[in-house]
Structure 1
Amino acid sequence: MSIKLIAIDIDGTLLTSNHQLTEEVKATLKKAEEKGVKIVLCTGRPLTGVQDLIAELDLYSENDYVITYNGALIQKTKSQEIISQVGLTHDDYIAIDGLARKLNVHFHTETEKFMYTSNRDISRYTVLESHLVDMPLKFRTPEEITPDLNIMKMMMVDDPEILDAAITKIPQEFYNKYTIVKSTPYFLEFLNKKVDKGAAVKQLAEQLGLEAREVMALGDNENDLPMIEYAGLGIAMGNATENIKNAASFITASNDAHGVAVAIEKFVLN
């Protein structure tokens, strides 16, 4: 099997638990690039939350790509030319914000430039997300969220036990209409039904003339499942959820033990 594209999740996969990129992983990715393998970061984060990593990994050539918002946006890293963008509507906002209020969980909305919350008692997880992805946070009432906003995704955020209890009460009609995926124990993400990481990696691979068997995907959480299932070689991190491990072709070391480097050394560089 000759791997020509490696799609890598960021949090819990590429980065350690302390959100660091190890020298071991960085060096291995460089070797894979030098071998002609395309490295594509594939994350739930917005572009603002990956630019430092793109720079550190030197993924700024004319033909480098990044997948953000769990697949809602595919673009070139250097020119930021958009390859694909699939967001949500103002009507979607009204419906999902209303559901969050009914379930009594915190909630925020992300566009390409800003995060918006209508919670006066702003969740610490919203603040965490804003800091992690370097995106300014604004308070707006639901009435102030206007139809002109280009919404990429929405998130219910709360303590895991509160969020898990709320998830059991989400009506099936929402699952029918949206892609709903847990990206961490305290984040539940709502996306356009056409959007997931697997669909985005597939679209990019096909645009580049590649088949699934030429793609490796590495991930740790539920939002990574579609790309793990799509890729010819799906790799679960040692710290991955059981669903990811069960779907994967191989389980590598954890993110704190350079698991990305271990997998690439084994399947790409040997």
Structure 2
Amino acid sequence: MSIKLVAVDIDGTLLNNKQEVTPEVFSAIQDAKKKGVKIVIATGRPIAGVTGLLEELNLRNQGDYVITFNGGLVQDTTTGEVLVKEPLAYEDYLDIELLSRKLGVHMHAITKEGIYTANRNIGKYTVREASLVNMPVYYRTPEEMTDKEIVKIMMIDEPDVLAAAIAKIPASFYQHYTIVKSRPFYLEFMNKKVSKGTAVNQLAQKLGLSKDETMAIGDEENDRPMLEAVGNPVVMENGIPELKKIAKYITKSNNESGVAYALREWVLN
């Protein structure tokens, strides 16, 4: 059975280490589109952080979709129509913000409009994230966050500081939220219903596709749910070892146009 939907992570997967789409990856994606394959960006970034890529890859045509916020938002890239939206409640924000202060780590919350932090001394990884996803940063006290529709909250700090904090997170938080470590300095909190895997499944169901007709390509722990959800999980050569254990295929690294290799070997052949 041919593959008709491919969900592709961005950082460490679609992009090389220079944050570029290689000509080989661009060409393979265009060829897949011509064959009628849905190429769907699936990322932890907000929509503002992927708009440029969608334009660059010609993924803003009728029938194109994008998965953002690690599955917290799924929408049509042309009309902006929202297929899936699972925000966090204000009470969730208060719980996670208090936990971050107890653990001594920086934290910010992300809406579709911007990044909000209660840290007076704004962490460098908040600044990094804002630059990466092209979003403004706002300082707001917890009391000023009542009217914000928060899609994702991130604890962000130096890898050793964050690792020490993660070891102290109560088990109840893992029961209440989807928590994924997307980078050594990023820990993400989302609605318990949210994951890249759930989003891919919901989109596949909307399109009338079976599991065998779906593929996902990723490299990090936050990609695990979508790799487990599809019939054809592909892990990058530069992916973490734990993910390679669940892969059907191992493709080349992001610096060797691994997405292009995967599409040509297992989708376009």
Q: Whole-Å Cα distance in 2 between the matches of residues 68 and 226 of structure 1? A: 14
Aligned counterpart, 2:130: 130
- What are the Cα deviations for residues 147-178 of structure 1, in whole angstroms up to 9, with x where unaligned? x2100000000011110110000000000000
Aligned counterpart, 1:174: 173
Structure 1 position 257, deviation (Å): 0.8
- What are the Cα deviations for residues 116-171 of structure 1, in whole angstroms up to 9, with x where unaligned? 0111111111101000000110011222222x210000000001111011000000
Does the residue aligned with 1:247 lie in a helix, a strand or coil?
Answer: coil
Does the residue aligned with 1:200 lie in a helix, a strand or coil?
Answer: helix
Aligned counterpart, 1:66: 66
Aligned counterpart, 1:49: 49
Does the residue aligned with 1:36 lie in a helix, a strand or coil?
Answer: coil
- Aligned residues: CA RMSD: 0.7
Does the residue aligned with 1:240 lie in a helix, a strand or coil?
Answer: coil
The yes-or-no answer on 1:87 pairing with 2:87 is yes
Structure 1 position 221, deviation (Å): 0.5
Q: Whole-Å Cα distance in 1 between the matches of residues 18 and 113 of structure 2? A: 25
Q: Which amino acid aligns with 2:158?
A: D
Q: Which amino acid aligns with 1:231?
A: V
> Which TM-score applies when normalising by structure 1?
0.98
Q: Which amino acid aligns with 1:221?
A: E
Structure 1 position 269, deviation (Å): 1.4
Aligned counterpart, 2:109: 109
Does the residue aligned with 1:70 lie in a helix, a strand or coil?
Answer: helix
Q: Whole-Å Cα distance in 2 between the matches of residues 10 and 197 of structure 1? A: 13
Structure 1 position 31, deviation (Å): 0.5
- What are the Cα deviations for residues 52-98 of structure 1, in whole angstroms up to 9, with x where unaligned? 01001111112110000000000000110111100100000000000
Does the residue aligned with 2:107 lie in a helix, a strand or coil?
Answer: strand
Q: Which amino acid aligns with 1:217?
A: A
Gaps of 5+ in 2: none
Moved over 3 A (4+): none
Q: Which amino acid aligns with 2:201?
A: K
Does the residue aligned with 1:269 lie in a helix, a strand or coil?
Answer: coil
The share of aligned pairs that are identical, in percent, is 53
Structure 1 position 196, deviation (Å): 0.2
Structure 1 position 246, deviation (Å): 1.1
The yes-or-no answer on 1:120 pairing with 2:117 is no
Structure 1 position 245, deviation (Å): 1.0
Gaps of 5+ in 1: none
